[in-house]
Structure 1
Amino acid sequence: MTYAAALAFLAGLQRFGMKPGLERTAALLERLGRPERRVGRVVHITGTSGKGSVAAMVEAGLRASGRRVGLFTSPPLERFTERMQLNRAEIAEDEVGRLAAAIAPHAKALSAGGEDSPTEFEVITAMALAWFADQGVDDLVLEAGMGGRFDATTAVERVAATAITNVALDHTRWLGDTHEAIAWDKAGIIRPGVPCVTGTDHPGALAVIERVAREQGAPLIRVTPEDSRVVTTGPDGQVVDLRGARGWYRDVRLSLLGAHQAANAAVALRLLELLDVDEGAIRSGLAEVVWPGRMELVRAPGGRLVLLDGAHNPAKCAALARAVRDVFPGRRVHLLLGVLADKDVERTVAPLLPLAEQIWAVAPESPRALPAEELAGVCAGLGRSARVVPAIAEALPAALAAAGPDDLLVVTGSFYTVGPARRILVRRQVIQALPPA
């Protein structure tokens, strides 16, 4: 199967939608010979915000210690192959075709046998686990797609450690409309006797996680806001103090920007300690970790700075707003904003609007996109006018042209906004990632 045919096969599975449950993924894995049992240690991570960043940090620390590390994340920012990486090298397109061809008959057989047809994410998860087994990874960092208890990634039975970064209101249609309900779903990744690290600070959500951990006999390691401190911060990175089981790690260089990333680093630190990674590798990994589209600062023509961040819920947008104020004090900000229609749009964009000198409303490249005109209406209801330019390809150069040489353009609201914007910049070869100083 070609790469294009593989993507078409997976896209065809979208008609089955999202169906919570582990039975379809487990059935696929059984048919494949349970490949996940042939990988090394598995670290399973979920959370409302920060789970991808924590996964990237843990991967970087493990790799810095000399391990062969697999990384499974979602959604992809620009291309499908980002989902599966080995030592941060993406899976080859022909491997995607091979895996899809191998799994397609099993997916069809399950449906023909009277069982529910597996969903797109379930098939992708099974493909990833088969590939990581083939690659003989020492460690696999596994990011949940959504929730945890009924997420396809939880079909992996044996894990070395788990993490719940935090709990906030998002994906309420599927996970529940209270912090406690969402926490119960996410706590489903906790395995009997397996240590779990959490950065959750919502009292109700934390109580649920503590209860599930007790029921599973799983040691719970709580990371609090006091476990991370920003020492210095700037566009080229930050220096932080982090507290772990071994005590304080002083003056740790962190390439990712924002106080929320320092908090994520404290969660990653505790996971890496559980995995017996030494301090030198932890420091090296955190200093060098790269996570595109998450507080990613790039340089466009004329030296203009563009901050790309896939913030797409109220908690993430509030963290982004704080980070912009902390890292870029005094700069004029321009905002290119596109969100999905199934989000709490007003609460999501509200923290960002006060930052902006100008606002550009676009439609993300997704069937779930909120039309740019409707987004502009939400902004108007919050007291801010926004210029409507529906196509990202048109809005991005217009926003860059309007920005002064010392201004900051923030592109955010959805990964389906940030990804296309980044792809346009890369294709035109006008992007230059700013390395840590």
Structure 2
Amino acid sequence: MCGILAFFVKRSLLYEFRASADNLFRCNSLCVFQCNFSNMRKNYESAVEKLNYLQSNISALKDNEKTAAKGLPATSLKNVKIYLKRIGITQDQLDSQLSVIHVSGTKGKGSTCAYCESLLRHCGYKTGFYSSPHLVAVRERIRINGQPMSESDFAVYFWDVYKTLEANRDESSSMPFYFSFLTVMAIKVFLAEKVDVAIIEVGIGGENDATNMFRHTPVVGISSLGLDHMKLLGDTVEKIAWQKAGIMKKGSISITAHNQPPSALKVLYERANEKQCKLFEAPPFEKYEWSHKLGDLNLSGTIHEINASLGLQLAYAWLAKCKKRGSLDIIGRSFKLETDFFSGIKDCFWPGRQQIITRRNGDFRYYIDGAHTIESMNECSNWFNGQVKGTNVNFLLQNKDMVELDKC
């Protein structure tokens, strides 16, 4: 494209189209812009290609499953701390310059983080948000003020981190795996962009997850618990709860979803006592006092209400603890939601989660959702059935079907 634009500039001079000096400047500027855009695009694509050369998280999981005798090994967390040091980020910087809301769980932790981020952004704070996995582009994993990083910004930060890590490695040093690299890069971005708060979603587990490098996390969230990654986290919900609660820190305000299995909830309270922090349960969504019509929120499904309530509690707890906006005494209880909080819930968009896309004037509808546990698959099928009720389309997964799918 650059060559063609340059050719037209020359051609206009050759045939004396009487282009003014101003028009000629614009043509040359357009050519330079297109060239720069092309270079930025190539720089981004080469960054993604280099990132993909790093061992994928799936491969790392398979290796961990072979060696993990007692839960997820601490190797990833230990290495992330080393990588951060190699790019010049100290533990003291993490403690003093980054205010974090850390969220673990089995189901809904991404949605919970999305609600929390949207709420705090609508309250006027600059937010960072680190999540996984991505749906379309890896840039989605690192967001500033709700927006995925631009291709150019992603490339700049990627090459900065990558080249610094390479320059500071020795014969015994390695490069991070895919997820660990992005975790290190996200921390770099959030510090450089001076976000007011970073909402961090755990990758797997919690206790030994690569994101668990923070020592003084002010607010911790634990979404709905169930059986997942059992080879790494344990074969019971109690063992999994123990791992997920590993992100609790001394003095943290820890809040969990209100629908936890009783045995898992008992473990969470035990861990909170061990970690010397307070644990609260988010109230049911309908318990809040709304300043607007609840129906305007367009929440679909019980799980979204559970996640939204947890997100509300996390955002409120951070405001009360870190910004002295609100009372610590009402954390874990329902409260009146003013306009900022209502808008934060209403305007939150988390693609691929109970999302409906309409095409061709409504002739085609795509119902998009995801699930990786039996409970989530039930929720997914219930949502779909509720959406298409009364039409000539129906879909239902019975428990036995889900078990078979779970084996695949």
Fold similarity call, TM over 0.5: yes
Alignment of 1:265-280 (within 5 A): 265-276=308-319, 279-280=338-339
Q: For 2:161 and 2:104, how far apart are their aligned partners in 1?
A: 26
Q: CA separation of 1:91/1:119 partners in 2, compared to 1, >3 Å: closer, same or farther?
A: same
Q: CA separation of 1:187/1:262 partners in 2, compared to 1, >3 Å: closer, same or farther?
A: same
Between 1:1-10 and 1:149-158, the stretch displaced more is: 1-10
What is the one-letter code of the residue matched to 2:373?
A: N
TM-score normalised by the chain length of structure 2: 0.73
- 1:24 matched residue in structure 2: 79
Rg comparison, structure with higher value: 2
Q: CA separation of 1:147/1:254 partners in 2, compared to 1, >3 Å: closer, same or farther?
A: farther
- 1:316 matched residue in structure 2: 376
State the 1:113 CA deviation. Answer: 4.4
Q: For 2:297 and 2:404, how far apart are their aligned partners in 1?
A: 27
Contact 1:47 1:166 in 2 (8 A): yes
| Counterpart secondary structure, 2:45 | helix
State the 1:305 CA deviation. Answer: 2.1
Q: For 2:126 and 2:98, how far apart are their aligned partners in 1?
A: 9
What is the one-letter code of the residue matched to 2:53?
A: G
- 1:56 matched residue in structure 2: 114
Partner residue of 1:75 out of 133, 145, 170: 133
The structure, 1 or 2, with the larger RCO (C-alpha pairs under 8 Å, 6+ apart) is 2
Q: For 1:324 and 1:288, how far apart are their aligned partners in 2?
A: 22
Structure 2 residues without counterparts, runs of 5 or longer: 1-41, 65-72, 320-324, 326-336
- 1:257 matched residue in structure 2: 300
Contact 2:367 2:384 in 1 (8 A): no
Deviations, residues 260-296 of structure 1 (Å, cap 9, x unaligned): 1011111112112212367321111001110100001
Q: For 2:292 and 2:403, how far apart are their aligned partners in 1?
A: 36
- 1:153 matched residue in structure 2: 211
Partner residue of 1:217 out of 262, 265, 276: 276
Q: CA separation of 1:249/1:193 partners in 2, compared to 1, >3 Å: closer, same or farther?
A: farther
Contact 1:255 1:286 in 2 (8 A): no
Q: CA separation of 1:250/1:178 partners in 2, compared to 1, >3 Å: closer, same or farther?
A: farther
Contact 2:356 2:365 in 1 (8 A): yes
What is the one-letter code of the residue matched to 1:267?
A: L
Q: For 1:191 and 1:249, how far apart are their aligned partners in 2?
A: 34
Q: For 1:56 and 1:17, how far apart are their aligned partners in 2?
A: 27
- 1:330 matched residue in structure 2: 390
Alignment of 1:301-380 (within 5 A): 301-303=360-362, 304-333=364-393, 346-347=402-403, 349=405
| Counterpart secondary structure, 2:54 | helix
The CA RMSD measured in Å over matched residues stands at 2.8
* 1:14 equivalent in alignment to 2:55: yes
| Counterpart secondary structure, 1:333 | coil
Between 1:96-105 and 1:186-195, the stretch displaced more is: 96-105
Alignment of 1:158-197 (within 5 A): 158-197=216-255
What is the one-letter code of the residue matched to 1:11?
A: N
Q: For 1:5 and 1:25, how far apart are their aligned partners in 2?
A: 23
State the 1:95 CA deviation. Answer: 2.2
| Counterpart secondary structure, 1:330 | coil
What is the one-letter code of the residue matched to 2:366?
A: V
Q: CA separation of 1:146/1:256 partners in 2, compared to 1, >3 Å: closer, same or farther?
A: farther
Give the length in aligned residue pairs.
329
Q: For 1:223 and 1:201, how far apart are their aligned partners in 2?
A: 11
Contact 1:255 1:288 in 2 (8 A): no
State the 1:5 CA deviation. Answer: 2.1
Contact 1:258 1:327 in 2 (8 A): no
What is the one-letter code of the residue matched to 1:220?
A: L
Deviations, residues 342-386 of structure 1 (Å, cap 9, x unaligned): xx9842758xxxxxxxxxxxxxxxxxxx9xxxx7xxxxxxxxxxx
Contact 2:216 2:250 in 1 (8 A): no
TM-score normalised by the chain length of structure 1: 0.69
Contact 2:241 2:264 in 1 (8 A): yes
Q: Percent identity?
A: 29
Q: For 1:213 and 1:249, how far apart are their aligned partners in 2?
A: 33
Partner residue of 1:295 out of 347, 351, 354: 354
Deviations, residues 17-50 of structure 1 (Å, cap 9, x unaligned): 2454211111111223236446442111111111
Higher helix share goes to which structure?
2
Q: CA separation of 1:11/1:336 partners in 2, compared to 1, >3 Å: closer, same or farther?
A: farther
Contact 1:13 1:119 in 2 (8 A): yes
